[in-house]
Structures are given as C-alpha cells and as structure tokens.
Amino acid sequence: MPAKHRVHGETARPGYIATESGVELFYRDWRPEGAPGNGGTIVFVPSYSLPGDMWAYQMLPLVRQGFRCIAYDRRGHGRSSDPGGGYDYDTLADDLAAVIDALDLSRVTLVGYSMGGAEAVRYLTRHGSARVARLALIASTLPMLMKTPDNPDGIDCACVDAFRQDLASDYPRWLADNARPFAGPGASQAMIDWIREMALRTSHHALFACNETVSRGDFRNELRDIDVPTLIVQGDRDVSNPLELTSQRTARLIPNARLVVYEGAPHGIFLSDAARLTADIAAFASA
C-alpha cells in the first residue's frame, strides 16, 4: 500500500516547503515568461552531494521551450535544513512528496539523477503515480550497487570503505582528484570548480548518511512495480555507476522502459552532454 500523503506546505519564507517534521526544503520553480508552462511540468531530483542548482543547464533551456521546471535541495544539501537525520530512502521519498503535494503538481515528468533516481523510484512505489506521468532515470544508482552473494558483480565493500575514509579525512582532496573524471575532458575548469564548491557546502553528516543509504539500496524487486513510461540515460564511461551494473539491468526490470546510452560520456552527463540530455528530456516530457 502506498504511504499516506503527509500534511505539508509552503512556509512563511518564500522559496521553502516544510515537511510534516518541520524540515524546510529550498526549491526553485521556474516558469515560462507570460505563459502557464504548456510544455508540462518537470521535477528534478538532484545527485548525492549536490543541490538542485546542478540542473541549471537543463532547466533554463527547458523553461524557454515552455516547460515549468522545479528543482529542490535534498535535506542536508544546499539551502535546505540540516536536520541530522532522515536520510533513508523512505524519508527522502516523503520529502519529494512534500514538494509535489505542496505545489499541487500533476502529470509530472520526474527526473532523478544518480541517487536521486532511487529516490524517485521509492516515491512512486511508496506514494503511487497519481501525480506522475513519466519517469527519467539519469546515470542512476539502480538497481543495486554493492557486491553481495546474490549480486556478485557489484562494487566491493572495500571500495566503499576507501571512499568513506577519504570522506572522513580529506573530502576536499577527494573532490579535487575525482572532479575531472566525473565531468569529462570537455568541461571547463570553471565548471568543475562550480560543482566542487556546491559539493563542499553539503552537510558532512548528510554525505555519510546518504552514502550508507546508497550502499544498502536494493531495488531489484521494486523496479518491477513502476507503472509509468521510463527513460533511462547513461554514459558508457561512467566509472561511478558502471553501465552494465546499473542502467542495463534497470532497463530489463522496469516495464515500458527505454535505455539510451551516450557513447564516451562520464557519470556527470548533465555537464558533459548538457544539450543532448536536455533535448532527450524535452522529447520524453512532450510524448
């Protein structure tokens, strides 16, 4: 049974939505000038460690094409509250529900990137698809990343432990070492610096807790329950979420799913292939 929708709404502060537990989520709601957004409504769920600002290079051109575009900051990220807890997928999906319900959205195209894709899926299986018409999963962590006896091709726990050690000892250095592989060779240094600066502003507690959530995630059964058309996009040089471990398997599990692979693209395809990704989202949202 889908979870009962909680009572939530806009706070006295413009640009924020409050959850039932009092967490304030910062959001941006961009609409075409002088038009209601006849292209439809797109809600963007951000990456692990990044706020909704990461979607700027998709949102701006999409708004100019007539779409209403909404992005929010996950709790502990960007301008949202840092409540010190609630980083499990159920609570994060409820936060997404708070945004969708407070703005009274319908026929939404829900776009989730990396960890945000798993949050979008949990929203659908927990709250249902009454408000969502389509789902786009971009370089997602789905269906399961970690190596286990029944997932032998997954990522070894030693790799996760090494990342957590870097997170605990020198996260800025880890970001500096990994930003270029994330963004790809064509990204400007200024763009990479922008991404790093946003990641460095994320709550350190949220970084640890969200990493634990991603590591424990197993959506292999849940994906079969997705009942909306689904677009899956990923680069074949994604070293964070290897294509064969994630999107290829996800496409086989979700009914009515279509996989699009970007040749030569890294994990950060919202930067490396911004124009192509924007066009694919626009075409999908218009279908």
Q: Which residues are catalytic?
A: 114, 238, 267
Query: How many CA atoms does the CB half-sphere of 75 hold within 13 Å?
Result: 27
Cα(264)–Cα(201) distance, rounded to whole angstroms? 30
- DSSP characters over 33-97: TTS--TT-EEEEE--TT--GGGGHHHHHHHHHTT-EEEEEPPTTSTTS---S---SHHHHHHHHH
List, as own/partner pairs, every contact residues 83-87 make where C-beta atoms lie below 8 angstroms and the sequence separation is at least 24, other chains included. Answer: 83/21, 83/22, 83/23, 84/205, 85/209, 86/21, 86/23, 87/206, 87/209, 87/210, 87/212, 87/213
**Strand ranges (E), the chain:** 9-10, 16-18, 24-30, 41-45, 68-72, 108-113, 132-138, 230-235, 257-262
Element (H, E) at 190: helix 189-200
Instruction: Return the residue matching tokens 């969200």.
Output: 210
